[in-house]
Each structure stands twice: as structure tokens, then as C-alpha cells.
Chains A and B, each alone.
Chain A
Amino acid sequence: MTIFQSILLGFLVVCAISVSFSRNLLNSILIYMSYSLIMSILWVCLESPDLAITEAAVGAGVTSILFFATLKKIQAIRIENEKTAETAQRNGKAETAHE
């Protein structure tokens, strides 16, 4: 049981780091969803179903969609080709639009 929980905790750490290091805001929202996904398993391991349900409902459901809506409102979502175009200009080499 401890092996399983330690793997999940390792997964949480990797999720948290990759959320902060992802350039695209949209990408961090989706990784945040997987973070709360794993958190709800840990709540189930600790035998507390109410916390697991709220974590599942809030984390994957409400918060992510609200983040998405705010991003939409402040027009901060750069769609794919704008992003690659910017990175191409920023580091100056002729990167192909889609690998």
C-alpha cells in the first residue's frame, strides 16, 4: 500500500513541477486537472470519500473550467501557430510551423 501511495506522491511532485515549467497557460490548466485527479485517489486511499468527491468535482470540473473561462476573457490563449511563430522570432531560427 505504501508503494502505491509513494508512486502517487511522486506523480504529484512531477505534476506540480511540470505545471510551473510549462510555457503555455492552457497546458498548465490541463496538468492541474491531472494533479487534482491524483489527489482524489489519495483521498480515497485515506478512506475519506467526501473529500475525494469534492476534490474530483472541484479540481477537474469547476476550477479548470473557470480558469479556462478567465483565460478566454483576458484573451490570453495564444493559439498554436501564433505561439510557434513567436518562439521562432524570439530565438531567431526558422523553426518549422508544425513538427
Chain B
Amino acid sequence: MLYHNLYITILVILAVMLFPCLIRAVRGPRIADRLVSVNMMGTMVMVMIAILALMLDEGYLVDICLIYAMISFLSVVVLSKVYIGIYEEKRHKAEHPEDETEGGKSDGSF
């Protein structure tokens, strides 16, 4: 019974700590701010899922935590790579407006 209350308090503290991450995500001026806060939220969610897995004492719930680690890492990497691609392409178009004819070289990549 003692463990149950301990887990509940820690979960509540973590849930309350999620709100500033969301505020940073909404308010963040730059795209990197938002990705950083989503990444931070991912790690907090991982700890929450691990605690929940132990509280409901089912071992297979920890797999979700593992999957979440991979997915949050993957999405941060893919989103920032794609965004860098967009930014470079836009800057390239802004610097060399003359080669507009062949319609930008980035269509093939993604």
C-alpha cells in the first residue's frame, strides 16, 4: 500500500511538471525550442509510463516506454532534418532566383 501512494505522488508531480513543457512548446519563438520541449516531454512521459508499469505491476507495459524512447528520438531527428532541407532550399531559392525554371531540386529527395 505504501508503494501505491508513493507512485501516485510521483506521478502527480510529473504530470504537473508537464505543463511548463507545453507552455514552452506553445510559446517557443523558434522551431528548435518546440522540438526541444517535445523531446523533454517525451522523457517525462517515459518515466511516467515506467512508474505506471510498476504500479499496475505488469511487466509488458515497460515495452511502451522503450518504444517511446525510439519514437521520440526518431521524430526529433526526422523533423529537424526535413526542416533543415526546407530552409536550405528556400534560402537557395532566395539567393539564386534565376534558376526557377527546373522547379527546385528538392522534389526528388522527399
Binding site for B on A (CB under 8 A): 1, 3-4, 7-8, 11, 14-15, 18, 22, 26-27, 30-31, 33-34, 37-38, 40-41, 44-45, 47, 49, 52-53, 56-57, 60-61, 64-65, 68-69, 72, 77, 79-80, 98-99
A57 vs B22: C-alpha distance when bound (angstroms): 20
- With A4-B8, A99-B29 given, is the CB distance from A11 to B67 under 8 Å? no
Contact, CB under 8 Å: B64 / A44? yes
Total cross-chain contacts (CB, 8 A): 115
- With A1-B8, A4-B8, A33-B75 given, is the CB distance from A22 to B58 under 8 Å? no
Known interface pairs A8-B15, A40-B64, A68-B78; 11 further A-B residue pairs with C-beta atoms within 8 A, sorted by A's residue number? A1-B8, A18-B22, A22-B26, A31-B25, A38-B45, A40-B45, A41-B52, A47-B58, A56-B67, A72-B86, A98-B29
Contacts of B79 in A (CB 8 A): 30, 64-65, 68
Contact, CB under 8 Å: B75 / A65? yes
The dominant DSSP class at the B interface is helix
Contacts of A1 in B (CB 8 A): 8
A27 vs B110: C-alpha distance when bound (angstroms): 21
Q: Taking the nearest CB of chain B, how far is it from the CB of A94, in angstroms? A: 18
Contact, CB under 8 Å: A69 / B25? no
A52 vs B72: C-alpha distance when bound (angstroms): 15
Contacts of A47 in B (CB 8 A): 56, 58
Contact, CB under 8 Å: A61 / B64? no
